[in-house]
Amino acid sequence: MPDLEEQDDTLELEINEYEYEDYVDEYYEEEHDEESHEHQVAEGTWGLNPGMLLAREAADWYLLAHLWLDGKDEGKFAHRTATLAEAFADYTDMVVGGELRYTLNHITDLSEIAPELLESLQNEISGERSEAWDGWYSFRRRYGFEALEWAENAFKLFGSHTYGGEKWAYIAHTLKMFEGAEISDTTFVDMCWGLEHNGGQFFGKLWDTYRLQNVLNANLEDRTDKLLENASPAITQLYTEVNE
């Protein structure tokens, strides 16, 4: 029979283990709740599909581009491009707002921020990412294109390589070019595939990016076989049939 001191150690260990399990369960429950809320805002406010499969979309798009260049796409490339451009523009807009919530903690001289944006950052574009997405949506509807210019300038003022900075300024600028009709739908979609933020793949704020980089590399390496492996059945069939 163990002595009393040994019993106390065992009891303490058991309690700590239960406390840790409760902590882990609570942590993952909170993470799941926030992810669910983000999906609700992305879908309900921004009109995005959180379940979109990026690797498949990229494979389909590049295969259709190949067919389009040969005049064999049956009109599908333009339609797919317009659909993706709309989704990517909304996604880009949304995540710009999410990143802006870090502004107040990463810019020394807040007087350099547009007063309208500063006021909103102190109120609606703050909190959790989903809350900032929601707040930015309202802000953009009030101030339109000018709000993007303020966002781009704010990112350039960040004194951090972790948040904001030049990469996010470029992301905002890319959306500005598209909204200002400086670039076409095709150019915008192609640019978005290659965008990165400070933490890596640009699309990872909402969508599953598993295998996306493999598909992008396959396109750069002209590996049609790899694109076909990741494409949807409908586009695989179309590509195969017209190239028999």
The residue ranges of every structural domain in the chain are 1-44, 52-242
pLDDT at 199 (0 to 100): 61
Q: Of the given ranges (40-49, 157-166, 175-184), which has the lowest mean pLDDT? A: 157-166
Other beta carbons less than 10 A from residue 162's beta carbon: 10
* pLDDT value of position 11: 42
Give yes or no for residue 130 having a pLDDT over 70: yes
> 30 pLDDT band (50/70/90 cuts)?
very low
The DSSP secondary-structure symbol of 203 reads G
Could you tell me the pLDDT band of residue 164, with boundaries at 50, 70 and 90?
confident
Output Rg (C-alpha) for the chain, integer angstroms.
23
Residue 10 pLDDT greater than 50, yes or no: no
pLDDT, tens digit, 9 for 90 and up, residues 205-227: 999 999 999 999 999 999 999 99
Instruction: Indicate the residue type of 212.
Output: L
Specify the residue for token string 């996010």: 168
- pLDDT above 70: percentage of residues in the chain: 85
What is the rounded CA–CA span in Å between residue 229 and residue 215? Answer: 9
pLDDT band (50, 70, 90) for residue 32? very low
Matching residue, tokens 């309900």: 44
SS3 at position 200: strand
Asked if residues 171 and 96 have their Cβ atoms less than 8 Å apart, the reply is yes
Instruction: Quote the pLDDT of residue 159.
Output: 80
